Amino acid sequence: MENIRDEVKELQIGLKIRRMRQERRMTLQDLAEGTGLSKPLLSQIENEQVIPPLATLLRISKAFKVELHTFFQEESDSEKCILVRAGESRQLRQWGKQGDSLPPYSYHSLAYGKKNRHLEPFVVEFEARQWRDDLQVSHDGEEFLFLLEGQLEFRYGDQVMQLNPGDSVYYDSSEPHGYIATTDLPTRAVAVLYSRS
């Protein structure tokens, strides 16, 4: 757990969110109202006790009127081309108390360091879980997912789809959607998010 916390501190997502909120002279209550998220959750995110799922980060980025990539870049980054070697991606993993409604996945940014990007590519690692309706999320934008290994159950609105290695899905993410791994074998995918400005 300590190395996960170290990785999070290196990215400083919570600190960036707090700084951006303070720069806009917003209270936690203001941000809660702008995102539909609870004040306690936002406080935990700012204090780096909870790593926000991607859908939560998208809500926060919309409230701040910034792009999602803002949370995955260094202040001084200006590279036009970023090469990410195997094993060098920045990993963010969910954690919390047993029974939390946190998503059953961790994600690795594949474009960390590239400024002003319109796409967010990730490698996503899924954990096997029982499906719960609160695992479905929705947010503006579009997503593409290509399953590398394992098996996934993808729910999109009322549809339920089984994905096997080599399968892909492209969808409008404003509809409720969610994934769970259906095997204890490693389940990994490449996902690309596009958030409309």
Regarding whether 101 and 16 lie in a shared domain, the answer is no
Per-residue model confidence as pLDDT tens digits over 130-148:
888 888 888 888 999 999 9
Residue with tokens 């203001």: 30
Regarding whether 103 and 42 lie in a shared domain, the answer is no
Element (H, E) at 40: helix 39-46
Q: Please tell me the predicted confidence (pLDDT) of residue 163.
A: 96
Number of compact structural domains in the chain: 2
Per-residue model confidence as pLDDT tens digits over 113-131:
666 677 888 888 888 888 8
Residue 125 lies in a domain: yes
> Is 70 exceeded by the pLDDT of residue 22?
yes
Regarding whether 55 and 135 lie in a shared domain, the answer is no
Q: Please tell me the predicted confidence (pLDDT) of residue 31.
A: 92
Q: How far apart are the first and last CA of the chain?
A: 35
167 burial level (CB within 10 Å; 0-12, 13-18, 19+): middle
Residue 97 lies in a domain: yes
Residue 84 lies in a domain: no
Regarding whether 121 and 45 lie in a shared domain, the answer is no
CA 190 to CA 108: how far, in whole Å?
10
Beta-strand ranges (E) seen in 128-167 are 142-149, 152-156, 159-163
Regarding whether 96 and 37 lie in a shared domain, the answer is no
Regarding whether 99 and 66 lie in a shared domain, the answer is no
Residue 85 lies in a domain: no
| b/e code 45-76 from CB counts within 10 Å (16+ = b) | bbebebbbbbbbbbbbbbbbeebbbbbbbeee
Domain containing 11 — which CATH number?
1.10.260.40
Regarding whether 67 and 153 lie in a shared domain, the answer is no
Per-residue model confidence as pLDDT tens digits over 26-43:
999 999 999 998 999 899
- Given pLDDT bands bounded at 50, 70 and 90, which one contains residue 52? confident
Rounded mean pLDDT of 69-91?
Answer: 63
Domain range for 179:
90-194
CB contact at 8 A, 156 and 191: no
pTM of the model: 0.64
